[in-house]
Amino acid sequence: MKKTIVLLSILFLLAATFVTVTAKPLRIGDIIGKIYYTDIKTYIDGKQIDSVNIGGRTMISAEDLQYMGYLVEWNGTDRTLNIISNASYNISGKVIIPDGKVAPKGGLNVEIAALVNPNPDPSVVSRGYGPEFGKEVKLIIPEGQSSIDYKISVPFKFEPRYVRAILPNGELEEPEKLPDIKPNYVLRFRYSYYLGTYKVEHGDYMEGYLDMSTGDKTGVDYIFTNIDLK
C-alpha cells in the first residue's frame, strides 16, 4: 500500500513537471480570459470608475485613471505604462452669496467644474465645443448660510496625443503628434434652488483661467453677481 502511494506521488510529480516544461509561453494577442459585467461599484479616492470582472477579479482600465487626477504615461518604444498618483494640484476657495443674502430653504445647490480652456487667450472662454478635460464637484450652501468652501484636484500634465491620417490607398500615415494640452483651467459655476415648486437655475464662467502647471491655487473665491434670492 505504501509503495502504491509513493508511486502515485512520483507519477504526479513527473506529470506536473512535464506540463510545466511543455507549456507554451504566452504571445501578444493570446486569449487569457473572459471579461464579464459586474455590479461591483469601484471607487478611486472616493470617485467612481468603470470596472469589469476578469477571472473573478475586479479590473479597471489604466488609461481611465488619467481622468481621476493621475498621470498615465505610455512609452511605445519600451512598452511600459507608468502611472503617477501625485500628478494633480488643487484649486480651492469659497463660493459666496453677496449683499448679505443667504441660501433659501433647502439650501443652494452648487456645481463647480474645472475645465481646460483650449483658447490661449485667457479673456476668451471656448464655449462652442466640449473641453479637453473636465472635473466637477457638487456641494450645497446650507439654508441660512452665505458661503461654503470648495476644492477640486486637477491634472497638470496630460498624455501626448497623436493622429494618423488615412492615405488614398487605405493605409495609415505615420502618427503625427498634436500640440500638448496646456493645464489652463477655467471654472464654471452653476447653482439651483427652489421657489416653492419652481426650480431656479443659472450658471457662469469665471473670467480668465488658472495655470495649474505651477502648483496649488488657493483663495480662488467666486461671488455670484446676478443671484436673485427672494
Give percent of the chain with pLDDT exceeding 70.
78
Q: How far is CA 30 from the centre of its chain?
A: 30
In angstroms and rounded to an integer, the radius of gyration of the C-alpha atoms of the chain is: 27
| pLDDT, tens digit, 9 for 90 and up, residues 30-64 | 887 788 888 888 887 667 888 888 888 888 888 77
Question: What local confidence, expressed as pLDDT, does residue 6 receive?
Answer: 41
Task: Write down the pLDDT at residue 7.
Answer: 37
Residue 102 forms part of a structural domain: yes
| pLDDT for position 143 | 92
**Residue with grid cell 441660512, as numbered in its chain:** 144
This model's pTM is above 0.85: no
The span from the CA of 155 to the CA of 185, in Å, is 10
Residue 4 lies in a domain: no
Count of domains for the chain: 2
End-of-domain residue from the set 86, 108, 126: 86
Asked if the model's pLDDT at residue 8 lies above 50, the reply is no
* 23 band by pLDDT with thresholds 50, 70 and 90: low
pLDDT at 230: 61
For the segment 158-216, what is each residue's pLDDT rounded down to a tens digit?
767 777 788 788 787 888 887 877 888 989 888 888 877 888 888 888 877 899 888 89
Same domain, 60 and 150: no
User: Residue 5 falls within a domain, yes or no?
Assistant: no
Domain enclosing residue 76, as ranges: 34-86
- Within-domain flag for 22: no
Q: Are 207 and 224 spatial neighbours (Cβ–Cβ below 8 Å)?
A: no
Looking at the fold, whether 114 and 198 belong to one and the same domain comes out as: yes
What's the chain's length in residues? 230
Q: Which residue has the cell 506540463?
A: 19
Residues 167 and 106 in one domain: yes
Question: Quick one: how far is CA 35 from the chain centroid?
Answer: 22
Strands 162-163 and 176-177: what pairing? antiparallel
Amino acid sitting at position 193: Y
